[in-house]
Structure 1
């Protein structure tokens, strides 16, 4: 079966689970991607559920891939607002929009990614969850072909979000994540960031 995705992270994870799949790069806007599916170029494609729903294309969703199967990208689904750090007036205005639980999860996930020196197009996945004041995280680094997937998890206090993210990264590095990431950057010229 030919499966289309634009994500190296998804490709690595899916190849590890189903090495029999022919996972190919998929580019273009949603309409173009769906057209490639409809024309038979792909047997299945992976698109963001939220994007399809936003476009009113719920009927095109056949299956949702959970974080238990495929970890999402760092801070996937998070919306951020950029402002000048010295602009305290703007910070005060937008602070009402801050969602503390999302901030905690985002802080932890970004800390892991930063410590791994990860970029936008590398097979790094992470999922942070909050349960009250407890934060748990699962992370992974994968070889491009899915031949090697390193996973680790950690749990602790939400107050320690950044430290937990760094500790999770160190667990992955201890398993050999640096060698995998070095190979990713060397083989495919995927820029850090």
Structure 2
């Protein structure tokens, strides 16, 4: 499906504000993909579909997680995390996305993970810094996106996300800690990229 078809297909799945966010994430992901030498089309598809299940019924998402034998740890954490993995499932089954990198970019856009691809980093970052986001520190992250390598930018973004959750006394999904550790170990040359 092309951009306009995908956008039309997801528009009714979310409020107008989230749809505007999705367009912002899409445009930011395309820009970052070009900047960091990745496929802009893959970034576009992943970004358009990243929040396709954000407003889906919780019980339905829980059922998909169980039926599809997704990580059961998800069910121990806030339902806000569910839309990534369930969104990847919908991207595959409803939108016929077969590229595993695109699916993983959707699946892990809220948590990150060990061994992220560049596309996964791009969608994670784009979701965080798109122009409609307003939170303390977002302007610093946007500025960093113009100055840092993709790897260092991802470290900065995951650090911000984890710090935010810690300051709010919120539990942090294990994938996020593992992503942070993996990125730092790669930076220090202790694991292969």
Larger radius of gyration between Structure 1 and Structure 2 = 1
Higher relative helix content: 2
Same structural fold, with TM-score higher than 0.5 when normalized by the shorter chain: no
Structure number with greater CO (CA < 8 Å, separation at least 6) is: 1
Instruction: Calculate the TM-score normalised by the size of structure 1.
Output: 0.25
Higher relative strand content: 1
